[in-house]
Structure 1
Amino acid sequence: MKLRTHLWNHSEDRLRAPVRLVGGFFLIALLAVVGTVLTDVLAAVLWPSIPSAYYLVVTTVGLALGAVFGVVVVARTIDRRSLHDYGFRGGLAWWRDLFVGITLAVFVQAVVLGVELATGWAVVTDTTVASGGFVTLLVASVVLFAVVGFYEELVLRGVVLKNVAEGLAGRGAVTAVTVAVLVSSLLFGVIHLSNGGASLVSVSVIGFIALTVAASYVLTGRLGFAIGFHAGWNIAMGVLFGQPVSGITVPARVLAVDVTGPSLWTGGAFGPEAGLLGVAAGFLGLLGVLVYTRVVEGNLRIHPDILVPGRRVEDSVVEPPVHETGAGGGTFPDEASVEPRK
């Protein structure tokens, strides 16, 4: 009975946050693998001689579809909430966030390349370079990074950050959100360890950069900025400015850049995400998030939706009662005290 109490929140009629997090993440990862395998098989049957560049896009789309389907299943069966509770709220504000996130990411990457060119650490050697048809591969590369930006933010910020924050809400808003941001950012860095040339340095830098997208989600309660910034960052870095993206050379690049500067700053073959320029870019991105949020939200505070979700149980909505005052005057729940609305 005691074990059941530790695993099951009777007042909420669902699993407790740590169990939801571990079980949900495992299920999403499993379905992502299934999606990858299925697309591999489909590609082998329909396009046996598929070029490696397109194969990467196809398998990534398969992985993303599996992961997104996993999130839908987790939302319904484990988290017992609506998908909009993962940060898909705000109407036109969501799309504005997306656009501004993309714009900021392109600007930050332009600054990184500008510094490299100004210091002589890089030179532009060519334009419109591709390993096949430029336009087709360009579109494929953009699709690749758009898909990656969407599903990684949905899983790591929408599911992971939210569940960690909810689970710790009773300890105070600042503590809960700080831990949630750090956990999601560290996990984001760790999953890039499988990339070619990855190291503890690249994991640390990528984890630090992830603070930008985590902050945008925490401060707005919406996932639009995080998705836009993530996708725009990769597209600008790899497709527009010809830099390696987490150790991956993009098959179609608007600019071809030869980087010869010190790896400590440029990140070497792994790209800026393994160097001090990546850290500086992360700082610049975070500053942009703070300025943007201050303008559109009117203040800088932990958005109540991060810790006060509307949770679905069958056809009724569960709204957590407030528990304590958080940053910026918001109020936040004690997870154990959530009761269904009659």
Structure 2
Amino acid sequence: MSKSSIPRDVDGLSKRATRTLLVPFWNRTERRPRAPWRILGAFVLVATGSQILPSILFANIEVAPSVLGLLQNAFAVLTVVLVTVIWGRYVDHRRLIEYGFEIGSEWIRDAGIGALIAFVAWGAALAVHLTTGWAHISAVLSPGDATNALPFGLALIVFVVQFLFVGIWEELLFRGLVLKNAAEGFHLQWISERGAVLAGLGVSSLLFGAVHADQATSLPALGFWVLMGIVLGSAYVITDSLAIPIGLHFTTNLAFNSVYGLSNVRPQSAEFAATLLRPEFTGPTRYVGVSGLVNVGVVVLIATLATGYVALQYDSVRVRLSPVYSAMVS
């Protein structure tokens, strides 16, 4: 039977049925997949390119653990940037700068302020531990575990670059791709714009905590990473930029591991990290643990300082991230 001989009502019914079946997957108005599928697709691509492929490519490379970590995270940055650019253009209908990665003088300034805030705040954490007698400095300019096999200066540079890469690719993924798309997905008739953004913040923070679950020793400890995700996401929400989140994330990792040695409270995760100061912790776990009350307090301090900076620099603190989708202009 030729196509022209098919009754119009049957052909129309078939098209309506197809559109109905595609409703959970395809947004006809925006002409792109719905938010959950955009997030899931990006996550699968990033996981494949940043975790699975590096584990295969670098499986037989005999280098120091720090150098291996640098290679893996360099590959992760390349993967996430490529995914963001390609996925953004052809699936998400967005340019890289629309995720908040528009690098310029103001962007660099904000990233630098974020880095400074985290550096000072985590220094305060170590000061609390030392003044209360919950820790003492056991080594200075420590190259870390012997398996690192690198001089201190070189090892420190490797960790600086590695943590910068981590800050870039994790923020592009969790705040840029996930939070922005989740906020758009929650922007329904019965949810306000602010409510949609807050819901997106919750989703991105929970996912951020989930991927760090291997670093948590308990459910309350897992809450530490969720809280950190909320702080980083909030900085993104009130600036619509990845500058401050990347600065905070990068220096938090660097200060925590390779400047103040705060991760030394969990030796198995820091045994080969080069650090300027290596403290030994003797205080109660509820205070000195990675997710202890001191560190939780510092995360709150970071949020307060970052919010204060935004208030001074931008004259107000408000939700600047919009959940309203606007098609990419070529």
* TM-score, normalising length: structure 2: 0.86
Gaps of 5+ in 2: 1-18, 145-149
For 2:315, the aligned partner's letter is G
Among 274, 279, 291, which residue is 2:296 paired with? 279
After the TM superposition, which residues 126-275 of structure 1 pair with which residues of structure 2 at under 5 Å, given as runs?
Answer: 126-131=139-144, 132-170=150-188, 171-195=191-215, 198-244=217-263, 247=266, 248-249=269-270, 251-267=273-289, 271=290, 274-275=291-292
Q: Which amino acid aligns with 1:51?
A: A
> For 1:99-118, what aligned pairs fall within 5 Å after superposition?
99-118=112-131
* Aligned-pair CA distance for 1:70: 2.3
Residues 84, 311 of structure 1: alpha-carbon distance in 2 compared, 3 angstrom cutoff = farther
Structure 1's 246 and 221: CA in aligned 2 closer, same or farther, altered over 3 A? farther
Higher strand share: 1
Could you say if the C-alpha distance between residues 245 and 120 of structure 1 is closer, same or farther in structure 2, counting changes exceeding 3 Å? Answer: closer
Which whole-Å CA distance do the structure 2 matches of 1:239 and 1:300 have between them?
32
Name the residue aligned to 2:31.
13
Q: 1:36–1:66: 8 Å Cα contact kept in structure 2?
A: no
Q: Could you tell me how far 1:100 is from its partner in structure 2?
A: 0.4
Change (3 A) 1:35 1:65: farther
Separation in 2 of the partners of 1:121 and 1:9? 55
Name stretches of at least 5 consecutive residues in structure 1 with no aligned partner.
318-342
- Separation (CA, whole Å) in 1 of partners of 2:52 and 2:173: 16
Give the conservation status (yes or no) of the 8 Å contact 1:108–1:284.
yes
1:334 alignment counterpart? none
Identity of aligned residues (%): 30
Cα displacement (A) at 1:25: 1.7
Partners of 1:90 and 1:63 lie apart in 2 by 20
Residue equivalent to 1:125: 138
* Alpha-carbon distance, 1:246 to partner: 9.7
Q: How far apart are the structure 2 equivalents of 1:239 and 1:150?
A: 18
Q: CA deviation at 1:310?
A: 4.4
Following superposition of structure 1 onto structure 2, how do residues 16-27 of structure 1 map, counting pairs within 5 Å? 16-27=34-45
| Residue 71 (structure 2) aligns with | 58
Offset at 1:245? 7.6
1:93 alignment counterpart: 106
Q: Once the 2 structures are TM-superposed, how far is the Cα of residue 212 of structure 1 from its aligned partner? A: 1.6
CA contact (8 A) 2:85 2:96 kept: yes
How far is the alpha carbon of 1:143 from its aligned partner? 1.0
Q: Summarize deviations over 1:290-324 as a string: whole Å, max 9, x none.
A: 11111111111110x43245432xxx45xxxxxxx
**Residues 264 and 278 in structure 2, CA contact (< 8 A), matched pair in contact too:** no
Asked if residue 292 in structure 1 is aligned to residue 314 in structure 2, the reply is: no
Q: Tell me how large the CA RMSD over aligned residues is.
A: 2.0
> Larger radius of gyration, structure 1 or 2?
2
CA distances 1:252-287 after superposition (whole Å, capped 9, x unpaired): 1111111111110111xxx3xx21112101110111
* Counterpart secondary structure, 2:93: coil
Q: Which runs of 4+ in 1 moved over 4 A?
A: none
Partner Cα separation in structure 1 for residue 265 and residue 185 of structure 2: 32
Amino acid at match of 1:49: E
Aligned residue pairs total 302
**1:146-180 CA deviation, whole Å, 9 max, x = no partner?**
11111001100000000011111232122111111
Offset at residue 219 of structure 1 (A): 0.4
